[in-house]
Structure 1
Amino acid sequence: MNRKTLVLPAVVGLLAPVLAACGGSDEGGEAIVVGTTDQFIASADSPAPLDPAIGYEAGVWNVLRQTVQTLTHIPRGGGEPVPEAAKACSFTDTENESYRCTLRDGLTFADGTPVTPEDVKYSIQRVIDIKDESGPIGLLDNIDTIETKGEDQVVFHLRTPDATFPYKLATPPAGIVPKDKYPAKSPREGFQVDGSGPYTMKPEVKNNQVVKVVFTKNPKYKGDLEIKNQKVELDLFPDAAAMGKALDDKKIDMMTRTMSPEQAQKLLAEPKEGVKLTEMPGLAISYLAFNTEAPEVKNKAVRQAMAQVIDRGSIASKVYGSTAEPLYSLIPSGITGHTTPFFDKYGEPDVAKAARTLDKAGISTPVTFTLHYTTDHYGPATKAEFEMLAEQLNASKLFQVDIEGKAWDKYRPEQKKGEYSVYGMGWFPDFPDPDTYTAPFLDKNNFLNSPYRSALAQDTLIPQSRREADRSAASDAFEKLQDIVATDVPVLPIWQGKQYVASLDGLNGVEYAVNSSADLQLWELGRGTS
């Protein structure tokens, strides 16, 4: 993938760039049906999986983006945020600490109720007030106060300078929701989502689990997006095989998250008549994470030895084939500031070096622990990946490792409670900037609820990186952050993935329907003449 420099705007202007549509429009006819293996389950531990204040997963965000409108959004093809629910946004100071947005005229929720600056304030303040420990609070907790002015303006006063704030306002946690449907201090339970976005939604639920979501074009929508269809159904499948069969049987028009590596490679090698495979840039990463207070891995020498033993290249090639490549930093290639500190520090896998690291720290071997992974969240190859990880670690004789897999609705609550010493996770970026690969793991209110702390990262480097409107100027801070991760190993990057989408002929806009951050943009899909 080509590296590109991301430059954040000082102003999000009144006029968004107009991009020519590639696909045709679909102003009538049958619904476009899109398949996914994402799962949305309500449980005692997670009764409100689709609340913007709670949901912090790619699949959840892909539902929210269709229904809940944000002040800004990332335009087709990427780049700087442009206005969406707002008609103009800008920093009003030179320090990037005060950000003002003016709402579009006549903006309403789907039921016709006017959207006001007070609604914007209410929606974002409730995310801050609910402060869910595994939710997206880290994206918004730099907001000090939210001020409304007149009938159409809202001003965000930040605690510290943050040039990435326009990007954060483009994420679903900053979405505008109606007060009468979302409690101020508690989550909205269930699966219904309401907003002022391009679609209304209706979930179909069986046994506290969503099996389908029907998105219907919102006639009240006013924003920057051009909607090329009237209705899209998101069908949820238990696995990639079932989703693939539905495409073969023409019961769905497109399959997205998550095709198996075998499916993608087979379509690459043996294209099927009537089926198009689209490859897109991928910024998703896979990594091991550690409860750094757990006795098995509390000493960083254990984590360093694991980094020295694991063969990322073998895992990527043997398990994922052409759909993944080894990763040697939290920041993947294709993002400004990417370096390779894990390769620079540890080089090729070397058991003797790992043994010396453990011996120097006085660690008795073999080090025994369980590798935990989720069975149903990141695709069907996860089990094979963890079997190979365990095989590599055990073959070194320095570790004695078992693996244990659990469904996501059990896995995530146990992980955030600190019940796992070593566990696997994946990460899809909140927005295309190096900040989203560092702050969620190293800052306060981090996504993993990790006990790991680096004062240098939290107090100096992260704030320093956010002062730079030109993101290339922040590269030095991000290089140091990556070096800290490679030295202390609170997380251990494994691979970076590519994205593939399979679709039936006649469906247009597929190349824009999933962006590099894995955001699903259903409004881009249409049928008709290209």
Structure 2
Amino acid sequence: MKNSFEGVSRRDLLRYTGILGAATAITAGLGACGDGDGDTASGADSGPAGKTIEATLAFTLSSAFDPMNASSAVATAVNQHVFEALIDLDPITREPYPALAGAQPTPSADGLTWTVPLREGAKFSDGTPVTADDVAWSFQRAMDPANKALMAGFITFVDKVTAKDPRTVEFALKHPFSLFPQRIAVIKIVPKAKTGNAAASKAFDTAPIGSGPFTVVSANATAGVVLGINTSYNGPRPAKVEKITLRTSPDGTARLNDLRGGSSQAIEAVPYLDVKALSGGDRKVEEKQAFNHMFLMFNCTAAPFSDKRVRQALHYAIDKDKVIKTALQGYGTAATSYLDAGNAGYQQAGTVYTYDPDKAKSLLAAAGASNLSFELHTTDAAFIKDSAPILIDAWKAIGVNATLNTMPSSAIYGTVVPGPNFRVLAASGDPTTFGPDVDLLLRWFYLNQTWTKDRHRWTNDAAKQCAQLIESAAKASGAEQKAIWKQALDIIADEVPLYPVFHVKMVTAHDPKKLKNFQGASTTGLYFLNASRA
């Protein structure tokens, strides 16, 4: 699989983060943060036996670490160990818990003001205290349009953040927002003294300082990341090992060899073909339903794809069960909504695309789209590449001719999709890295300049109605909120500007004889906040 945020192109990453193109630059920026033992992420372990966790991630480090913008699978996984929000989401259960907050946020009677106390004695890894000014600043810099922060789109309900006193933060909202306690998890707290201007922020991006239980010791775009202990940490999830070595390898066979050979105690993204064989041994294999999916995205302004019946037809033509069985070895679930069935906010959509080639032909005829021919662009994620030929065969069966063009996501989103000739894309994406709530997920693909206007270009009346519903739901709560979300989900399913064919299952594996209290996640990444060596 590609990055959890595959839809964020390299062009966007450059704009968002000022990512360094060379691995040496990232490592050099971290030199002052090292623990002096000279280790890199190549696998060397000079620490005491049993005090280092080694693991292999499925992706390479493709962005730096400033949490205001970090979006790559590796950086977001690392940041979960290094930074804290006031309220964090458990990376496994996705349940919110007080992290830097000393207690749960408290709302005013009208829901427009929330007050949050800080944890007593919290410090950054450089030993400086975490203050309410740091918290307010972390939100302010993300909200500043000049910073073009990736996280800004998730906190549009916040009007102002102020420090009431050194240990108390007050949020003034534009309107009541029932998801406030869990949503503020998207803003990780950074020291104002280290991020106060552009030059400082650039340095911080490659030499991060957080208040979490671990620190970044070294990072390399090909070898991986080494984490050490934040000795100043006094929060609820203290480090239980002295070091975490995160190797990175997109090669599934290499990851399996790391686990089987004992150089890694855990790996993510077990190749689907190897799951059954690995399950029969002494390694524990976990599969979890994920939001991560293969979607079809159309240029909704270009005929004939400007007609929703054509878009619908291509979905009805696909035998999703066949795709899942053939390309994913069964480790996926056919989409019955934009949301995966494991999501707490899941509601089945009013339109479900069951396999119906006759209906597909009828829709194409009604739209006047006979002899349809187009180029199917895909990203190079493994399960996307494996699925694409099956889609092409399915469309051929209804008289549609599609040719295949597979490219890296950087080229797809940097050159192909913005171009005038783009029509259809098959790719993947998973914004649940930042949170699984329905509002966040809807905003990512359907209320977002980059996706809605620049990519699938869904700007008709239905798109405007959907946007209004998302905003209305944000101001509601309980059953009313859920009912409004259902309306938005139904519009999206009917219009299918960008819509999942299936949701995948995330498969991780670890050695239970060497690793304690580890669980696989339903998102990309491996997480060791409660784990130790056996």
Give per-residue Cα distances to partners, 1:11-56, cap 9 Å, x unaligned: xxxxxxxxxxxxxxx9974421010111223xxxxxx543222223
Q: Which residue of 2 aligns with 1:8?
A: none
User: 1:494 and 2:524 equivalent?
Assistant: no
How far 1:428 sits from its partner (Å)? 4.5
TM-score (norm 1): 0.82
Partner Cα distance (2:146, 2:391) in 1: 35
Partner Cα distance (1:131, 1:292) in 2: 30
How far 1:154 sits from its partner (Å)? 1.4
Q: Which residue of 2 aligns with 1:32?
A: 53
Partner of residue 220 from structure 1, selected from 232, 240, 255 = 232
CA distance 1:121–1:466, change in 2 (3 Å): same
| Equivalent residue letter for 2:131 | T
Aligned partner of residue 328 in structure 2, secondary structure: helix
User: 1:397 and 2:399 equivalent?
Assistant: yes
Q: Which residue of 2 aligns with 1:477?
A: 484
Contact 1:145–1:157 under 8 Å retained in 2:
yes
User: 1:322 and 2:330 equivalent?
Assistant: yes
How far 1:446 sits from its partner (Å)? 5.9
CA distance 1:296–1:232, change in 2 (3 Å): farther
| Equivalent residue letter for 1:323 | Y
- For residues 358-373 of structure 1, the aligned pairs below 5 Å read 358-373=364-379
Partner Cα distance (1:54, 1:101) in 2: 24
Give per-residue Cα distances to partners, 1:190-221, cap 9 Å, x unaligned: 6433211110012332xxx2422011121111
Contact 1:275–1:503 under 8 Å retained in 2:
yes
Give per-residue Cα distances to partners, 1:123-177, cap 9 Å, x unaligned: 2222222577693322123221112111111122222322122222223xx0111
Contact 2:506–2:521 under 8 Å retained in 1:
no
Aligned partner of residue 59 in structure 1, secondary structure: helix
Count of residues in Structure 1 that have an aligned counterpart in Structure 2 = 478
User: 1:149 and 2:160 equivalent?
Assistant: no
Q: Which residue of 2 aligns with 1:235?
A: 247
Partner Cα distance (1:104, 1:417) in 2: 46
Give per-residue Cα distances to partners, 1:363-395, cap 9 Å, x unaligned: 34313132222x2xx4x3321111222222233
How far 1:180 sits from its partner (Å)? 4.2
User: 1:176 and 2:189 equivalent?
Assistant: yes
Partner Cα distance (2:458, 2:148) in 1: 15
Partner Cα distance (1:168, 1:345) in 2: 29
Aligned partner of residue 438 in structure 1, secondary structure: helix
Partner Cα distance (1:412, 1:347) in 2: 27
Q: Which residue of 1 aligns with 2:307?
A: 299
Q: Which residue of 2 aligns with 1:385?
A: 387
Give per-residue Cα distances to partners, 1:59-106, cap 9 Å, x unaligned: 331111111111111347636522111102324224433222111122
Contact 1:50–1:191 under 8 Å retained in 2:
yes
Partner Cα distance (2:449, 2:501) in 1: 24
CA distance 1:79–1:504, change in 2 (3 Å): closer
| Equivalent residue letter for 2:52 | A
* Consecutive unaligned residues in structure 2, runs of 5 or more: 1-46
- For residues 240-389 of structure 1, the aligned pairs below 5 Å read 240-256=252-268, 258-268=269-279, 271-272=280-281, 274-295=282-303, 297-341=305-349, 345=351, 347-373=353-379, 375=380, 378=381, 380-389=382-391
Contact 2:374–2:423 under 8 Å retained in 1:
no
Give per-residue Cα distances to partners, 1:334-367, cap 9 Å, x unaligned: 22442333xx535532333223223323334313
Contact 1:54–1:136 under 8 Å retained in 2:
yes
Aligned partner of residue 278 in structure 1, secondary structure: strand
Aligned partner of residue 185 in structure 2, secondary structure: coil
Q: Which residue of 1 aligns with 2:36?
A: none
CA distance 1:82–1:347, change in 2 (3 Å): closer
Partner of residue 83 from structure 1, selected from 80, 83, 98 = 98
CA distance 1:457–1:134, change in 2 (3 Å): farther
RMSD, matched Cα: 2.8
Give per-residue Cα distances to partners, 1:459-499, cap 9 Å, x unaligned: 2x2233334454x5532112211110111111121112222
Q: Which residue of 1 aligns with 2:465?
A: 456
Partner Cα distance (2:146, 2:320) in 1: 36
Contact 1:131–1:137 under 8 Å retained in 2:
no
- For residues 381-460 of structure 1, the aligned pairs below 5 Å read 381-398=383-400, 400-414=401-415, 417=418, 420-423=422-425, 424-429=427-432, 430-445=434-449, 449-450=454-455, 451-453=457-459, 454-459=463-468
Contact 1:265–1:322 under 8 Å retained in 2:
no
Contact 1:191–1:203 under 8 Å retained in 2:
no
Q: Which residue of 2 aligns with 1:188?
A: 202
Partner of residue 52 from structure 1, selected from 39, 47, 67 = 67
CA distance 1:413–1:199, change in 2 (3 Å): farther
Contact 1:103–1:153 under 8 Å retained in 2:
yes
**Identity between Structure 1 and Structure 2 (%):** 22
How far 1:326 sits from its partner (Å)? 0.9
| Equivalent residue letter for 2:430 | W
Partner Cα distance (2:518, 2:287) in 1: 8
Contact 2:240–2:532 under 8 Å retained in 1:
yes
* Consecutive unaligned residues in structure 1, runs of 5 or more: 1-25, 42-47
Report the structure, 1 or 2, having the larger helix content: 2
CA distance 1:94–1:80, change in 2 (3 Å): farther
Which stretch shows the higher mean deviation, 492-501 or 289-298?
A: 289-298
How far 1:116 sits from its partner (Å)? 1.4
Partner Cα distance (1:277, 1:425) in 2: 23
Q: Which residue of 2 aligns with 1:14?
A: none
CA distance 1:388–1:77, change in 2 (3 Å): closer
Aligned partner of residue 216 in structure 1, secondary structure: strand
